[in-house]
């Protein structure tokens, strides 16, 4: 497994999600040499989760037949606002109790390896940028549609994190101030229209209102345990309700892209996340068409919009890239 990298050149990338932890060990050339997965179990409290992150890192390192002494740095993508300098989690909307948590310090104490923390979508975009886009476009935007909607912005070849390290919150761009309530407390954010959570809420409400869908045959009347894969199955069966709701989510995504393109003028817009992985084929043409309709004339000329092929791997690769760049 291990390649010709010198032993201290290995790095670890960790995708720290609300439900899953995923760690990967990478060589200096960002080749994966070992991975490990674990559930997050946020209900067990902050300290327990930090220990589980340390465990998943150790398991991945062991899987690669290495020891922690051979790891130069660990890059972690965390689901929330991160203080770049201290590596503290300022706030994580989907993780109860995660306010002002010194994640970097705690993990460095447990593992004895330098740790670098960034927002999860920024990290995923860094992974996409370096491996999938080969660091070629000067300006690129990543939009990740999952439980929420996150983004990552590359400007002049660098990840743009902004004054307070909070840039790239694409999901909280307000598209309609009279729209549905968002997890952030505002109304009508892009995320409140097109995230998996928003799509599922709309479907559940429609079923309550008496609309018909094959989803109730698959999952029962409450649509409990609805997953992105169910949406794909329903669309393949020609389900009209799911078609309508997905079309709207795709249109809102197109509008969000038009706004971003008007402001940033990126060459490439990459889409990712669970919703895109499941139904990119069904959404993509509507997204592109709507983006062109809403953008200023000329803005979308030659701009590429496509789904990332990295899937789950984007987060761990991005973590590895971050650690490689920042570890001395």
Cβ proximity to Zn ion: between 143 and 182 the closer is: 182
Cβ proximity to Zn ion: between 101 and 192 the closer is: 192
Cβ 107 to Zn ion, closest distance in Å?
Answer: 29
Q: Does 121 participate in binding Zn ion (rule CB under 5 A)?
A: no
Binding segment (CB under 5 A) for Zn ion, from list 15-23, 175-183, 245-253, 267-275: 175-183
Q: Does 172 participate in binding Zn ion (rule CB under 5 A)?
A: yes
Q: Does 166 participate in binding Zn ion (rule CB under 5 A)?
A: no
Binding segment (CB under 5 A) for Zn ion, from list 48-56, 110-118, 162-170, 181-189: 181-189
Q: Does 149 participate in binding Zn ion (rule CB under 5 A)?
A: no
Cβ proximity to Zn ion: between 177 and 210 the closer is: 177
Binding segment (CB under 5 A) for Zn ion, from list 64-72, 99-107, 184-192, 222-230: 184-192
Q: Does 182 participate in binding Zn ion (rule CB under 5 A)?
A: yes
Cβ proximity to Zn ion: between 42 and 148 the closer is: 148
Joined tokens for residue 182: 């968002």
Could you tell me if 22 and 35 are in contact, meaning their C-beta atoms sit under 8 angstroms apart?
Answer: yes
Binding segment (CB under 5 A) for Zn ion, from list 165-173, 211-219, 225-233, 235-243: 165-173
Binding segment (CB under 5 A) for Zn ion, from list 68-76, 104-112, 170-178, 262-270: 170-178
Cβ proximity to Zn ion: between 189 and 234 the closer is: 189
In sequence order, the β-bridge partners of residue 32 are: 26
Cβ proximity to Zn ion: between 102 and 179 the closer is: 179
Joined tokens for residue 30: 């960002």
# residues contacting Zn ion (CB under 5 A): 5
Cβ proximity to Zn ion: between 179 and 265 the closer is: 179
Cβ 169 to Zn ion, closest distance in Å?
Answer: 8
What's the 3-state SS for the chain? CCCCCCHHHEEEEEEECCCEEEEEEECCCCCEEEEEEEECCHHHCHHHHHHHHHHHHHHHHHHCCCCHHHEEEEEEEECCEEECCCCEEEECCCCCCCEEECHHHHHHHHHCCCEEEEEHHHHHHHHHHHHHCCCCCCCEEEEEECCCEEEEEEECCEECCCCCCCCCCHHHCECCCCCCECCCCCECECHHHHCHHHHHHHHHHHHHCCCCCCHHHHHCCCCCCCCHHHHHHHHHCCCHHHHHHHHHHHHHHHHHHHHHHHHHCCCEEEEECHHHHHHHHHHHHHHHHHHHHHCCCCCCCCCEEEECCCCCHHHHHHHHHHHHHHCC
Cβ 191 to Zn ion, closest distance in Å?
Answer: 5
The pattern of x and - marking residues 186 through 205 that bind Zn ion according to CB under 5 A reads x--x----------------
Q: Which residues bind Zn ion (CB under 5 A)?
A: 172, 182, 184, 186, 189
């Amino acid at each position: 497994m291990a390649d010709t990298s010198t032993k201290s050149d290995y790095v670890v990338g960790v995708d720290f999600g609300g439900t899953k932890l995923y760690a990967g060990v990478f060589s200096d050339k960002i080749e994966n040499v070992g991975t490990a997965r674990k559930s997050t179990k946020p209900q067990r409290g902050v300290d327990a989760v930090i220990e589980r992150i340390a465990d998943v890192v150790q398991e991945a390192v062991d899987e690669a037949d290495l020891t922690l002494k051979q790891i130069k740095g660990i890059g972690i993508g965390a689901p929330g606002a991160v203080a770049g300098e201290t590596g503290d989690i300022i706030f994580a909307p989907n993780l109860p109790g995660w306010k002002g948590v010194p994640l970097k310090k705690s993990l460095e104490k447990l593992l004895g390896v330098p740790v670098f923390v960034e927002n999860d979508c920024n990290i995923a975009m860094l992974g996409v940028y370096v491996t999938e886009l080969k660091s070629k476009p000067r300006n690129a935007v990543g939009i990740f549609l999952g439980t929420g909607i996150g983004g990552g912005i590359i400007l002049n070849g660098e990840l743009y994190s902004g004054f307070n390290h909070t840039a790239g919150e694409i999901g909280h761009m307000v598209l309609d101030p009279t729209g549905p309530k968002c997890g952030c407390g505002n109304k009508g954010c892009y995320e409140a229209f097109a995230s998996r959570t928003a799509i599922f809420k709309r479907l559940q409400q429609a079923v309550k209102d008496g609309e018909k869908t094959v989803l109730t045959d698959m999952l029962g009347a409450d649509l409990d345990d609805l997953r992105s894969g169910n949406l794909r199955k329903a669309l393949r069966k020609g389900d009209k309700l799911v078609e309508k709701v997905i079309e709207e989510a795709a249109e809102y995504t197109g509008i969000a892209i038009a706004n971003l393109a008007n402001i940033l003028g990126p060459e490439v817009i990459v889409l990712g996340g669970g919703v895109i992985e499941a139904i990119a084929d069904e959404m993509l043409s509507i997204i592109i068409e709507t983006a062109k309709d809403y953008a200023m004339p000329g803005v979308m000329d030659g701009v590429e919009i496509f789904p990332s092929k990295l899937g789950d791997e984007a987060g761990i690769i991005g973590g590895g890239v971050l650690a490689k760049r920042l570890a001395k």
